[in-house]
Amino acid sequence: MERTPSSPTPRLMAGLVVTLVAVGVFSWFSLVQIAGLRDLQTRVVDRNRRDSLQLLRIQSNLNSLAIAMRDMLSGDEPYPLDAYKGQFEHLRMDLDDAMRLEQKLAPAERSPDRQHFLADSLTRLWTALDRAFALAAAGHDKEAREIVRTTTQAEQSVTFSVSRLLVQNYEAEDQAMAHIQQIYVGVERNVYLFVAAMLLSLSLITLYLIYSNRRLFERLASLSGERRDLARKLITMQEEVLRSISRELHDEFGQILTAIGAMLTRAAKQNVPDSFKEDVREETWPCTCWSRESVILEPTAPMP
């Protein structure tokens, strides 16, 4: 017995659910990657750039401080040493503000010891300069110059530390940019894979629809052929039944008419009036004219 093809609706619904789940998972994964990328850009790249700007500001102030200390030691200017105190105070205020902002923007990966070393080095530098200005104000220019000359080495050490921090920031930024590039490549690859998977899924669903529709149409064509054969057999059976009934009616009714005709013929041979014999002759004549092959019993017209 041929198995009736099942409806493709459940399988198509299952395919739709799988497709929607795949879309949801891919969307969630993409959002997670985008959020990680945004966090990486905010936490590392942007913060490192702002921190680098503050470090450059500190480095510029240290360079200005080194130039001022060089002018103090050269003695070419006709100014006393304590005349530079206003310029140094201005540089100190700007450096303190830059250090305060830089500590807020310092990357989490940076060692706290390095940050403390930079702050302590600046504190010792300003302490030495304050003592030098105090000696200069007391008229001890020679001792003040010696302190400034010693402090120059400390200033160079601080500048070197700031340069190292800038290099670390640039390296961290380069690593972050490489990581961001990897994320972009991964997202692009995932998009291509997702599009390929969706095209494959749609192709499989389309092929399954074509296959299911073809099976359904073939089944409908088979049922239509069977219905035509059944209708033809039913019509043939009806014709045979009607032919059999007609034959039986013809035979039985013909026999009855023949018997009646024979009886009337015998009755006509008896002593009866002539008018009765004439009526019997007119009535018995059609009984001899029935056709055995007729389906519908229809007597022929009487002879004139």
Cβ of 144: how many Cβ atoms within 10 Å?
Answer: 23
**Using an 8 Å Cβ cutoff, are 232 and 22 in contact?**
no
DSSP-based three-state secondary structure for 295? coil
Give the pLDDT confidence score for residue 275 in this predicted structure.
64
Distance CA 211, CA 228 (A): 26
Q: pLDDT confidence of 235, banded at 50, 70, 90?
A: very high
Pseudo-torsion of CA 247, 253, 255, 256, nearest 10°?
Answer: 170
Run of H or E residues at 278: helix 274-284
Asked if the model's pLDDT at residue 187 lies above 80, the reply is no
Pseudo-torsion of CA 195, 198, 203, 209, nearest 10°?
Answer: -160
Give the pLDDT confidence score for residue 110 in this predicted structure.
75
- Domain segments of the chain: what residues? 10-213, 242-289
Give the pLDDT confidence score for residue 70 in this predicted structure.
83
Cβ of 140: how many Cβ atoms within 10 Å?
Answer: 15
pLDDT digits (tens, 9 = 90+) for 137-147: 888 888 888 88
Task: Of 23-37, 254-268, 270-284, give the range with the top mean pLDDT.
Answer: 23-37
